Structure 1
Amino acid sequence: MDALPHTADALPRAADGYTALAVMQDGIISRLQDLVLQADDAQDFFQELAVFSASLLAPAGGEVHCNVTVARRKRPVSIASSTPRARVMDDLQYAFGDGPCLTAMRTGKTTYVADVAEEQRWPEYVQAVSAHGVGSILGVPLHLEGDSSAALNIYSTAVHGFSPEDIARAELFGEQSAKTLRLELRLAQLRDAKEDLEAAMKSRTAIDIAVGVIMAQNRCSQESAMAILRKASNSRNIKLRDVAAGIIESVSPDSALRTHFDE
């Protein structure tokens, strides 16, 4: 994916009035649209989103590590991380079964741990991340659709690493990125459906051609040819499309199949 033409530093760092807020919101929307348009695939988009999140949401002069977590059927998965360190922090959270990111997804509310050393809600988890140099954590929910939920998990090495303005900016970013994330997930579903349809059509094409070969060789009806193909599939415990492919290869030097879905 090509580098974006602008950096997150170009966006306003605080909502100083309506104009600054509007400019920041427009800048976020424009950048997220670029991510969707320039991404080669869904994983590329998720990775760029995590990196952009870390760049945008880092306090002035500070550094943060971001994860994008999606839960489907109540099972959380880190789909992208701005750094390997961020992925380790999320893996720890999953291992302990709860934490700020999972709480943000479950409740739909921003969850802030200002000082992990003083946090009482998840004592084992915060002790583990503290050993990795984490001082504060921010979990921002990303509202999706159906039984899916998501969140940004943002780790800072500093204690009290996020000001109220930083949290407000993260929540604004969460609202806009959730919309883009929903769009990208739908596009990914459409791409998967298209690939499944192409595979099904190629399988159907192979079977139809093999039935035609059997009809020609045995001078039988289409129904009888299909019965022969199924019998061969059952007796050999091989999938019908694989038996069909073998028949085609036996009679054609070019076994490549073409369908009207080919691009």
Structure 2
Amino acid sequence: MSDNVEIRETPAGGLEQAGTGLQDFMLLLQDLVLESSDVRNFLTEMATIIAGRLSRDGNRISCGITVVRHKRPAAVASSDRQAQSLDELQNSVGDGPCLTALRSATVVSVPDTGSDSRWPKYLRAASKAKIGSILAVPMHLQNQAQAVVNLYSPTAHGFSPEGTDEAEGLTGISAKALDLALNIAHLRDARDDLTAAMKSRTVIDTAIGAIMAQNRCSRDAAFQILVKTSSHRNIKLRELAAAIIFSISGEQEISTTYAE
């Protein structure tokens, strides 16, 4: 171990290497990006890690993360059921500290849910759920998406200035990892769309060939027959093509020449 690395005792009673903690967190998230099967799985693991790093004895933090992607449903993940229920409640109410942070791209702090007059309906429910304070930290993403980290403490004034700084630091690093995860997800979506398109084209081409053989006509004429029948029966072109192939060969799946 290097002599110039400071070792200090944390409030939780553990030992942390100052100056290397955030780097370790970054490396952990990078590994998580590569190991996660999808964005929601990545977000759930990330929320759990953030909650664990911010928790202290007597102040167990819950973490929720909300991501809004362009033209896709919002992805919501949480470290535990309490964070999940509070995020779901806020989304159902349509307003609150976390949604405000998401819309304004600024940090929103609720030091005491029992005395804060903003968002009364939501904060009453949070206080009833034994949440004393809330901190919402937006993620600044390069990707075409918006995200916010929602932090819940069981005690009033549960986020000290140092704790808030740490939360913002972790969120900043997490945003870079989330950008990478979203880019990978975008590539996966593009691959899946291409695979589906290639499969549809193969099915339609096969059906056109069958119509050409049955009617002794050109490819263009066979395609027009398929289009007119699809419109007349109000059936999608690919579904009609698949039905034609099945009626002739009994095959429900047509393999494509596209390889990943």
Q: Same fold (TM over 0.5)?
A: yes
Shorter-chain-normalised TM-score: which range?
A: 0.7 to 0.9
Aligned residue among 97, 106, 114 for 1:100 = 97
Answering whether residue 123 of structure 2 is matched by residue 126 of structure 1, we say: yes
Contact 1:110/1:141 (8 A) holds in 2: yes
Contact 2:143/2:182 (8 A) holds in 1: no
Q: TM-score, normalised by structure 2?
A: 0.86
1:230 aligns with 227
Partners in 2 of 1:108 and 1:184 — Cα distance? 21
Contact 1:113/1:138 (8 A) holds in 2: yes
How do 1:54-133 residues align onto structure 2 when only pairs under 5 Å count?
54-72=51-69, 77=74, 79-133=76-130
Greater CA drift, 94-103 or 83-92: 94-103
SS in 2 for 1:22: coil
Q: Give the fraction of aligned pairs with identical amino acids, expressed as a percent.
A: 46
Aligned residue among 162, 166, 169 for 2:163 = 166
Shift of 1:12: 8.5
Answering whether residue 245 of structure 2 is matched by residue 248 of structure 1, we say: yes
The number of residue pairs the alignment matches comes to: 249
Partners in 2 of 1:253 and 1:156 — Cα distance? 60
2:180 aligns with 183
Partners in 2 of 1:60 and 1:119 — Cα distance? 25
Shift of 1:262: 4.0
Q: For the aligned residues, what is the CA RMSD?
A: 2.5
Shift of 1:91: 2.4
Contact 1:59/1:166 (8 A) holds in 2: no
1:202 aligns with 199
Partners in 1 of 2:171 and 2:111 — Cα distance? 19
**Alpha-carbon spacing, 1:247–1:99, altered in 2? closer, same or farther (3 Å):** same
**Alpha-carbon spacing, 1:107–1:235, altered in 2? closer, same or farther (3 Å):** closer
Unaligned 5+ runs, structure 1: 1-10
Greater CA drift, 19-28 or 177-186: 19-28
SS in 2 for 1:124: helix
1:22 aligns with 19
Q: TM-score, normalised by structure 1?
A: 0.86
Contact 1:92/1:129 (8 A) holds in 2: no
Greater CA drift, 152-161 or 119-128: 119-128
